[in-house]
A and B are shown apart, each in its own frame.
Chain A
Amino acid sequence: MRMAIAAIGRRAAACLVLLLALVLPPASAEQRSDPAADQRAFQAYFRKAFPSVGLNDFANGPYAVDKDMRKQWEEIMQFPPYDFALDDGKKLFETPFKNGKTYADCFPQKGIGIRQNYPYFDRQTGEVVTLDLAINRCREKNGETPLAYQVGDMAAIDAYMASTSRGKPFAIEIPDDPRALAAYEEGKKFFYARRGQLNFSCASCHVQAAGKRLRGDILAPALGILASFPIYRSDWGSMGTVDRRFISCNEQVRSVAFKPEDALYRDLEYFLSYMSNGVAIAGPGTRP
């Protein structure tokens, strides 16, 4: 009797799975999602393409793969242009809010040495939380207005928080939660799908053409590409956050960029950071 019920149950379950597979074909892609395998393949590709570049050196983007660029970078790093932002960031981070609380009260380990854990998947809200989003949520929780993303104070606070995590490898977790896997898959799709009138994907430049010249620039390998953020780009003449980079990349391929911290950008950051697990945080950084 019990066996019969179990058998019926099994059959019903099998039917249900079959039905679901028929009704929801995209679900099968998610079922096949294997972030750990993706990560192994991703890292193997770059290690093979740049055999002389150490894992942590990938954080240095174009400077890891081009000698002449590296020499200029080393000269610039004698007194890096992000120094001012770094000091500003430390001050901002330590200045209490009007209610007397500080950023440290919002973060694990008082916000020191935690950059490598961002973005993370928040199981309560079911979404990806980047460091910048967490910074603004901290402000809002304490009655302060959120900071503008991309530049200025946000980049400065990022710079300081990253500096306290230098040397700590990216340790992004993808919990066993279908929503987390879905976010990861969205980010992965965003990375590989071509967009914009120029029909480029992130991967067109930072996988297939990594290390090659595009106009005057050497394209950074995608592995470790976010480990140096925020960055001072000479091209900008100022600091910029991950959002600023995503938005400018999108615009360069003539695609209408999304708002900073759009769910797609957060998913992309989640995917890219997870791909770079093991690469040590080196931010803030400089770029041409």
Chain B
Amino acid sequence: MSRIIIATSAGLAVERRLVLQVLGIGSLAAMGLAAGLVPRAQAAEQSLAWPKNAFAQKNEAAALDALFEKPIVVPSDKISLDVPEIAENGAVVPVSVTVALPNVTSIALLIPENPFTLAAYYPIPEGTEPSISCRLKMAKTSDVVTVVEADGKHYGARKQVKVTLGGCGG
């Protein structure tokens, strides 16, 4: 109920952000201060086991809920998500994320059109740059979504990658 799917266009993003603030207050009230009372270090430690439940989810909302406990994801232009427009091969799609936000504690990568949505989750310890590159498989054309946790808040960015049938060429 409190989660917002990230918008792609800037205009929509602003609109959503206003909505978010309203919802944000609501959800904060609903949850009480419990979440805020968990010290960051402890939260980081807890996250250091492979998040089995999150990796088992088959849609974006469920995966994010499992990973972050109903996060409010705000689109952010401080996240640069670098993916190809057209994947040369869906089996190997280079993905890079660089975040220009302070106190980043994790970076998650999701591919909503894949059988399992969550592709990779990177807790970022203190002293490690909030910037990663890896290669992911994509079953078909989909958005690649990144959700970044920073100062206990959640920020997102997404971009579409077209995956076409290969099998020839070279």
Q: Give the distance to chain A from B142, nearest Cβ to Cβ, in Å.
A: 15
Closest to A215 in B: B165
Contact between chains at B88 and A214 (CB < 8 Å): no
Tell me if A176 is interfacial: C-beta within 8 Å of chain B. Answer: no
Contact, CB under 8 Å: B91 / A217: no
Of the candidates A68, A233, A235, A237, the one whose C-beta lies within 8 Å of that of B86 is: A68
> Cα distance A247–B45 when bound, in Å?
52
On whether the beta carbons of B91 and A205 are closer than 8 Å, the reply is no
Is residue B98 contacting chain A, with contact meaning CB distance below 8 A? no
Chain B 74-96 interface mask (CB, 8 Å, partner A; 1/0): 00000000001111110111101
Q: What does the 1/0 interface line of A52-95 toward B look like (CB < 8 Å)?
A: 00000000011000001101110110100100000000000000
Quick one: which of B84, B88, B94, B169 contacts A220, CB cutoff 8 A?
Answer: B169
Residues A76 and B92 in contact, CB atoms below 8 Å apart: yes
> Complex Cα distance A91/B166, Å?
33
Tell me if B84 and A234 are in contact (CB < 8 A).
no
Given contacts A61-B170, A245-B170, A287-B170, contact A71 B84 (CB under 8 A): yes
Across the interface, which residues of B come within 8 angstroms of A108, CB to CB? none
Are the C-beta atoms of B94 and A235 separated by less than 8 Å? no
Interface flag for A219 (CB, 8 Å): yes
Quick one: CB contact mask for B47-68 with A, threshold 8 Å, 1 for yes? 0000000000000000000000
Chain B residues with CB under 8 Å of chain A are 84-89, 91-94, 96, 133, 135, 163-170
Chain A residues close to B by CB (< 8 Å): 61-62, 68-69, 71-73, 75-76, 78, 81, 205, 214-220, 231, 233-235, 237, 245, 252, 287-288
